[in-house]
Amino acid sequence: MTLRLPTRPSGRPLVMGVVNVTPDSFSDGGRFFDLDAAVAHGRELVAQGADLLDVGGESTRPGAQRPSEHDELARVLPVVEALADLAPISVDTMRAGVARACVEAGAAIVNDVSGGLADPDMASAVAALQVPYVAMHWRGHSHDMQTRTQYDDVVADVLRELEQRRDALLSAGIDPSLLVLDPGLGFAKTAAQNWTVLAGLDRFAGLGQPLLVGASRKSFLAQVGSRDGEPVPADERDAATAAVSVVLAQAGVWAIRVHEVRSTVAACDVVAALERARA
């Protein structure tokens, strides 16, 4: 049975709350690595207004080393099983085996930051599973991705590389109505390049697929709000994240991926209220 892509609420994007089941997340330092803590966090995000939950067992912060597939699955599968009746669950994984197991356990979406490049079996697995698939712009694994920031024109190059992934994924049998694209803020991009991609977001609509964007707490926001030149710590970047969420809501993206849900829900509600007033 094909799972349909969740639809946007009237006038605003879906808000995807992040549940990191990792010991080395850049955003929360492993606070939710324990099963009970992860499940409680997922429930709290839904109470704050999350429409979707994104459960991941592999940190993708710059420099992170990969866990084994066994360890990744041991981290995420119990959380997916515990939260699947609460909200649509996205499993954040680059591995086809993890994707299959989590969909069988109740996950409704596969969110692959590698866009199918990290595992040659991913595209065919997702096509067979018939679930929504998020494919992000990606140039390499976390341990060296920040050595891959050479672009002639970052927006044009990211667009071209995402278009190539879109075409390859559709050729592999993924239903176009289930494919979401992500420009990959924070991945193989400098701070300045992230801002340029964000400024050129309207051009990504030309790819013809819904967009998911995740800017939450990322390092390119580290100077937003700083008054002494020192970077703002990751867990203090939620105000900057909410401001970016306004921009994303105005751009009409399908979903916004965030660590702190309440402020982004409020930001999206402000945009929706203004749109209704203008109408």
pTM of the model: 0.94
pLDDT given for residue 20 in this prediction: 93
Percent of the chain, pLDDT > 70? 96
Q: How confident is the model at residue 97 (pLDDT cuts 50, 70, 90)?
A: very high
Average pLDDT on 204-221 reads: 96
Output 161 or 144, whichever has higher pLDDT.
161
> Which residues make beta-bridge pairs with 15?
256
Lowest mean pLDDT among 32-36, 42-46, 150-154: 32-36
Residue percentage of the chain with pLDDT more than 90:
84
- 71-95: average pLDDT: 96
pLDDT digits (tens, 9 = 90+) for 9-23: 888 999 999 999 987
pLDDT digits (tens, 9 = 90+) for 29-38: 556 668 999 9
Across the beta sheet with 109-112, the strand order is 179-182, 133-136, 109-112, 89-92, 52-56, 14-20, 255-258, 212-213
Tell me the two tokens of residue 255: 């979903």
The residue whose two tokens read 């997702």 is 126
Confidence of residue 25 (pLDDT cuts 50, 70, 90): low
pLDDT at 264 over 70: yes
At 24, is the pLDDT very low, low, confident or very high (cuts 50, 70, 90)?
low
The pLDDT score that the predictor gives to residue 11 is 84
pLDDT given at position 279: 86
Q: What is the pLDDT of residue 32?
A: 65
With a cut of 90, say whether residue 61 has pLDDT above it. no
Average pLDDT for the chain: 93
Average pLDDT over residues 101-122: 97
- Among candidates 272, 270, 250, 268, which has minimal Cα distance to 258? 268
Q: Is the pLDDT of residue 63 over 90?
A: no
Answer whether 207's CB lies under 8 Å from 163's CB. Answer: yes
Residue 238 has φ and ψ, to the nearest 5°, of -70, -30
Residues forming the active site? 218, 257
CA distance to 15, 19, 86, 101, 263, per residue, from 39 (Å) = 18, 8, 10, 18, 21
